[in-house]
């Protein structure tokens, strides 16, 4: 890092570069807020957060913002041609990320020329290329933010070493649908026993599984050898073995400083969809722990047949529910008609929205369970609020997260995929699982376990808490590295 002195005051200027997808934007902004909050008594810290936008035409390719010298967090609109809410082929998407290098370099020089030199890059792990290249060229430290679990990073680390298991073995296990329930690894240090079906796969609009595994391996090798540090949104007591091994075995310092559940609104909002606040008023009218919250995140897609089975199961369970019926979730339906049908059949027990303020929902006293796709953000928000989970993993790390939720933390239930392709869950199983979670003995046990994890997560930022201690260590590392910084306004080019 470098420093800049203005009227005798030393400050740090962090440029935050996200991976442009909903599940990655939120943790980066939350980490930035955490840094600002924790650094306020140490000195002056400024954060500039990039907001990618799709340019309207070939001439619309400039970054734009207004200087606010008194604002500690500032956002810059930054052009990115392939930015969209529905990810295309991930190979194309990863390739297109390289196009931001030139603009990023220009933006940093712009700040340098105007007396606000960037002293550190904090960037998503998935944007390692090209952000690490820019950091290296300009002599700026880069901190890589890994937005998934420590166990997922440990799995990537093993694959990149190619001695515990290879990518070819991973591909074989994922593609062997008849061996889904077979054990993939039984005694890998730091990980529980994983089945073939638990392995991260990326079959969405296209099958990008190999692409993502290879991309993650390359990104991790670059981070492990060139990044200043890697930061994880988890805490030691949640994943002790994985956190310990990453800390001991990696060449780059790894800091597990989660969980980040800072509320984001107004100037810090990262939601790519408009949140429907009406659902909070509806929740206010419901009994304590009586509502099942249903949300599949920003990417999951369901077939029409699976939606019908899900609808039958939810209605037949006779439970109160708040359902996020996101446009794009289900193929070939009229969302307005579907919402009206759900509410009508629920006999006033249900409420439907396009998108919800999820953190407020999960922290609401009336919510007693979460039917979730098990994305890492949703998982940790459930943990932080003591809400048990009905696991409906779709792709990516979600299957692995579900394994931890059910078998390691014992705060959730998993459906059995018994239909065509292994992905259709029957309505009677959905009804049974919902009843079990919301009103059965098993649900009470899961709720107690979830509450115990909530208590642990709330303690990690208290005095002598593991995350607080490691955040202190990270910031001291950042401050020490200031002495080695090379960036200054002298890098300005006219």
- Print burial letters for 361-392: b (CB count within 10 Å at least 16), e (below 16): bbbbebbbbbbbbbbbbbbbbbbbbbbbbbbb
For residue 42, the tally of other CB atoms under 10 A from its CB is: 12
Separation in Å, CA 66 to CA 70, 74, 76: 12, 9, 8
Question: Confidence class of residue 2 from pLDDT cuts 50, 70 and 90?
Answer: very low
What's the topology of domain 4-152+207-258+460-488? Rossmann fold (3.40.50)
Secondary structure E strands in 1-88 = 4-6, 9-17, 44-53, 73-79
**What is the Cα–Cα distance from 174 to 415, expressed in whole angstroms?**
19
Tokens 């492990």 locate to 224
What is the per-residue pLDDT for 97? 82
Neighbours of 92 (CB within 10 A): 13
pLDDT at 409 over 90: yes
Please tell me whether residue 334 adopts helix, strand or coil conformation.
coil
- Residue 47's alpha-carbon distances to 368, 437, 485, in angstroms, are 37, 42, 18
Q: Look at residue 425 in the predicted model and tell me its pLDDT.
A: 87
pLDDT, mean over the chain: 87
Residue 322: enclosing H or E segment and its boundaries? strand 320-324
With bands split at pLDDT 50, 70 and 90, how would you rate the model's confidence at 485?
Answer: very low
Angle between helices 150-161 and 240-249 (to 10 degrees): 50
pLDDT of residue 96: 78
- Can you give the pLDDT at residue 133? 94
Q: Please report the pLDDT score of residue 5 as a whole number.
A: 44
| Domain residue extents for the chain | 4-152+207-258+460-488, 270-456
pLDDT digit string, tens, across residues 128-186: 998 999 999 999 999 999 999 999 999 999 999 888 888 999 999 998 877 888 888 88
pLDDT beyond 50 at 219 = yes
Q: What is the mean pLDDT of residues 250-263?
A: 93
On the question of pLDDT at 464 being above 70, the answer is: yes
Task: Tell me the DSSP string of 73-94.
Answer: EEEEEEE-TT--SS---HHHHH
User: pTM, whole model, 2 decimals?
Assistant: 0.91
The CATH topology of domain 270-456 is Rossmann fold (3.40.50)
pLDDT at residue 267 in the model? 86
Query: Is residue 126 very low, low, confident or very high in pLDDT (cuts 50, 70, 90)?
Result: very high
- In this prediction, residues 299-328 reach a mean pLDDT of 91
Higher pLDDT among residues 119 and 422, named by residue: 119
User: What pLDDT is attached to residue 491?
Assistant: 47
| CA neighbor of 368 nearest in space, from 327, 399, 411 | 411
CA separation for the pair 419, 128 (Å, rounded) = 39
Residue that the structure tokens 């459930």 belong to: 382
The pLDDT of residue 69 is: 57
Answer left, alpha or beta for residue 472, where phi above 0 means left and psi between -120 and 50 means alpha: alpha
Q: What is the mean pLDDT of residues 463-477?
A: 92
pLDDT of residue 428: 92
Average pLDDT of 68-89?
A: 70
Least confident of 19-33, 325-339, 436-450: 325-339
At residue 7, the pLDDT reads 47
What is the per-residue pLDDT across 336-381, written as a single tens digit (0 to 9) for each?
Answer: 888 888 998 988 899 999 999 999 999 999 999 999 999 999 999 9
Averaged over 117-126, what is the pLDDT?
A: 93
- β pairing state of 44-53 and 141-146: unpaired
pLDDT digits (tens, 9 = 90+) for 11-63: 689 999 999 888 899 999 999 999 999 887 676 788 999 988 777 765 555 66
**Choice between 9 and 154, residue whose per-residue pLDDT is larger:** 154
Could you tell me which residue, 447 or 102, shows the higher pLDDT? 447
Which burial class, exposed, middle or buried, applies to 208 when counting CB atoms under 10 A from its CB (0-12, 13-18, 19+)?
Answer: buried
Say how far apart CA 110 and CA 50 lie, in whole Å: 14
Asked whether residue 423 carries a pLDDT value surpassing 80, the answer given is: no
pLDDT-derived band of residue 486, with 50, 70 and 90 as boundaries? very low
pLDDT band of residue 481 (cuts 50, 70, 90) is low
Fold matches, 4-152+207-258+460-488 and 270-456: yes
């Amino acid at each position: 890092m470098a420093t800049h002195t203005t009227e005798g005051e030393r400050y740090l200027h962090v440029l935050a570069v996200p991976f442009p997808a909903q599940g990655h934007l939120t943790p980066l902004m939350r980490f930035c807020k955490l840094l600002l909050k924790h650094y306020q008594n140490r000195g002056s810290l400024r954060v500039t957060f990039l907001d990618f936008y799709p340019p309207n035409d070939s001439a619309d390719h400039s970054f734009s913002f207004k200087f606010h010298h008194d604002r500690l967090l500032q956002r810059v609109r930054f052009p990115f041609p392939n930015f969209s809410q529905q990810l295309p082929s991930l190979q194309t998407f990863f390739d297109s990320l390289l196009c931001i290098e030139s603009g990023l370099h220009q933006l940093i020089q712009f700040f340098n020329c105007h007396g606000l030199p960037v002293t550190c890059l904090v960037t998503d792990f998935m944007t390692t290329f090209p952000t690490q290249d820019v950091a290296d060229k300009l002599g700026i430290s880069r901190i890589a933010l890994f937005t998934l679990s420590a166990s997922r990073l440990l799995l990537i680390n093993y694959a990149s070493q190619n001695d515990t298991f290879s990518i070819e073995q991973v591909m074989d296990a994922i593609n062997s649908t008849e061996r889904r329930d077979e054990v993939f690894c039984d005694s890998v240090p730091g990980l529980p026993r994983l089945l073939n079906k638990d392995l991260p796969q990326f079959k969405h609009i296209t099958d990008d599984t190999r692409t993502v595994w290879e991309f993650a391996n390359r990104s991790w090798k670059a981070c492990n050898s060139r990044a200043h540090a890697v930061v994880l949104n988890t805490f030691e007591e949640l994943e002790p073995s994985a956190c310990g091994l990453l800390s001991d075995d990696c060449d780059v310092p790894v800091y597990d400083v989660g969980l980040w559940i800072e509320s984001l609104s107004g100037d810090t909002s990262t939601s790519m969809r408009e949140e429907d606040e009406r659902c909070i008023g509806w929740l206010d009218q419901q009994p304590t722990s009586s509502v099942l919250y249903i949300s599949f995140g920003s990417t999951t897609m369901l077939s029409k047949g699976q939606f019908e089975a899900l609808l039958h199961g939810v209605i037949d369970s006779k439970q109160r529910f708040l359902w996020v019926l996101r446009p794009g979730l289900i193929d070939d339906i009229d969302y307005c008609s579907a919402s009206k049908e759900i509410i009508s059949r629920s006999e006033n027990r249900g409420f439907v929205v396009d998108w919800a303020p999820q953190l407020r929902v999960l922290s609401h006293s009336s919510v007693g369970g979460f039917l979730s796709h098990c994305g890492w953000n949703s998982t940790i928000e459930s943990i932080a609020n003591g809400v048990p989970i009905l696991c409906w993993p779709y792709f990516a790390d979600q299957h692995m997260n579900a394994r931890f939720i059910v078998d390691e933390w014992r705060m959730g239930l998993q459906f059995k995929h018994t239909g065509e392709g292994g992905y259709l869950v029957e309505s009677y199983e959905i009804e049974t699982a919902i009843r079990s979670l919301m009103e059965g003995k098993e649900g009470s046990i899961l709720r107690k376990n979830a509450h115990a994890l909530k208590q642990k997560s709330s303690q990690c930022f208290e005095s002598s808490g593991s995350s607080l201690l490691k955040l202190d260590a990270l910031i001291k590392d950042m401050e020490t590295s200031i002495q080695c910084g090379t960036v200054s306004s002298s890098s300005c080019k006219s």
